[in-house]
Amino acid sequence: MIDVTDTRIPGLLIIKPGIYEDARGYFYESYNERLYRKHGIDFRFVQDNESRSAGNVIRGLHYQLNPHAQTKLLRVLDGAIFDLVVDLRKNSPAFGTWSRIEVTSENKLQVIIPKGCAHGFRVISSSATILYKCDEFYNPEFERGILYSDPRLKIDWGIDPHEALVSEKDKKAPLFADAEMNFAQEDGNE
């Protein structure tokens, strides 16, 4: 059993799995292709990525251009994050807007991040381990980014972005207005 919730960004979904708990602990299916397919979540995932980050780290905003754009299924194994998604699909009603979802190892939420969206997160616990599945392989030639502190986007990371721990690469990413994008809404699995 899973509950799937839409967001204001088309294709950005929040998934709440059915969790079975008792005195021994808990059990849940973190991914079941048949069950997800029944809810219209039908992707062929080809790569799993795991990252561990310290508290107040911001990673992102990252994406891959077409034809190597990626849909991601994200969850937190340990800790807590604010997961951030920016819609880059020029004909989407949510183009240029962002959504923030709190995902933790306690709430066990999962997030589907559609193709055509930039993705990032901020660690809001002392550290966090994130696992995400991708439906397209990593391709460095098509990798792009947007500056996490872009003044046009006005993303609320829950911290002054200049006080966060951010890689030099992410600090040098282009502004939203200058970022390369080649997406349409139909690229986002809608």
What are the tens digits of pLDDT across the range 115-156? 999 999 999 999 999 999 999 999 999 999 999 999 999 999
The H-or-E segment that residue 164 falls in is: none
Name the domain count of the chain: 1
> Per the residue annotation, which of 62, 68, 148, 162 is the catalytic one?
62
pLDDT at 162 over 90: no
Residue 113: CATH number of its domain: 2.60.120.10
Q: How many residues comprise the chain?
A: 190
pTM of the model: 0.94
> Per the residue annotation, which of 36, 63, 119, 132 is the catalytic one?
132
User: Averaged over 27-36, what is the pLDDT?
Assistant: 94
pLDDT class of 72 with cuts at 50, 70, 90: very high
132 catalytic per annotation? yes
* Token digits of residue 126: 């002392």
pLDDT class of 87 with cuts at 50, 70, 90: very high
62 catalytic per annotation? yes
Cα gap 169→148, rounded to integer Å: 11
Instruction: Determine the structural domain holding residue 177 and report its residue range.
Output: 2-188
Q: Where does 39-178 have alpha helices with state H?
A: 168-171
The answer, yes or no, to whether the previous bond of 161 is cis (omega within 30 of 0) is no
3 state SS of 116:
coil
